[in-house]
Homo-oligomer: A and B are copies of this chain.
């Protein structure tokens, strides 16, 4: 079976958390909205969203098709893929904990998005720039610190050899945390440069995952869409240094 991933074709966005899991698993998948031809492209994605193709229509991308099953919501997709591809632990209680971590990552992602879109997703950044500066300032000062500190503490509490969030073995949440560090470093390079000193375990996790053979190959491939200013992690220098840029 070949998975079908449905996500906006020009950004990493929330789809990237799923892509990273599929790539690490070396799972066969199509990134449908990025393909051309019949039954592909953005039209195929919209078709599902309009609820004409399934009794269980997703609210928004990303969603994954696995045979007859359609699974929506990023964290839910990862929860589905995890046990199928050795990216989740065996015990039920550990799986709940893993999912809890993933949902906290999802909350962080939503807050990152709101640094450039605090008023409305339907408006351009330029139309909410003033509000974005206030939001981003609070995010960088209070929220980002809180989230990164939380994950750092968990990683730091592990005994030697247990280098991942759940211990010795890599899970889908580690891959997502890699993407968080990568994305925040793109969006807020100065803040993250200072954060690296205080969050050694977190940045070490990022470096380690970046070097995993399948992830390294993926990051160098055309399948990895570069970060850009249409995605969740956007580099607007004025949001990081409001005093320096007009």
Nearest chain B CB to A122 CB, angstrom units: 6
A80: B residues at CB distance < 8 A: 96
Contact of A76 among B55, B72, B103, B128 (CB under 8 A): B103
CB closest chain-B residue, reference A74 = B103
Number of interface residues, chain A, beta carbon within 8 A: 43
Contact of A135 among B110, B119, B134, B154 (CB under 8 A): B119
Contact of A138 among B59, B97, B122, B138 (CB under 8 A): B122
A71-108 CB contacts (< 8 Å) to partner B: 71-73, 75-76, 79-80, 93, 96-97, 99-100, 103-104, 106-107
Given the known interface contacts A150-B59, A157-B55, the answer about A99 and B119 at a Cβ–Cβ threshold of 8 Å is no
**A169 at the binding interface (Cβ < 8 Å):** no
A100-128 CB contact bits vs B (8 Å, 1 = yes)?
Answer: 10011011001000100011111100001
A124-146 CB contacts (< 8 Å) to partner B: 128, 131, 134-135, 138, 142-143
A residues neighboring B (CB under 8 Å): 51, 55-59, 69, 71-73, 75-76, 79-80, 93, 96-97, 99-100, 103-104, 106-107, 110, 114, 118-123, 128, 131, 134-135, 138, 142-143, 147, 150, 153-154, 157
Given contacts A56-B97, A80-B96, A119-B138, 14 further A-B contacts (CB under 8 A): A55-B157, A59-B147, A72-B104, A76-B99, A76-B100, A103-B106, A114-B118, A118-B119, A119-B134, A120-B135, A120-B138, A120-B142, A122-B138, A122-B142
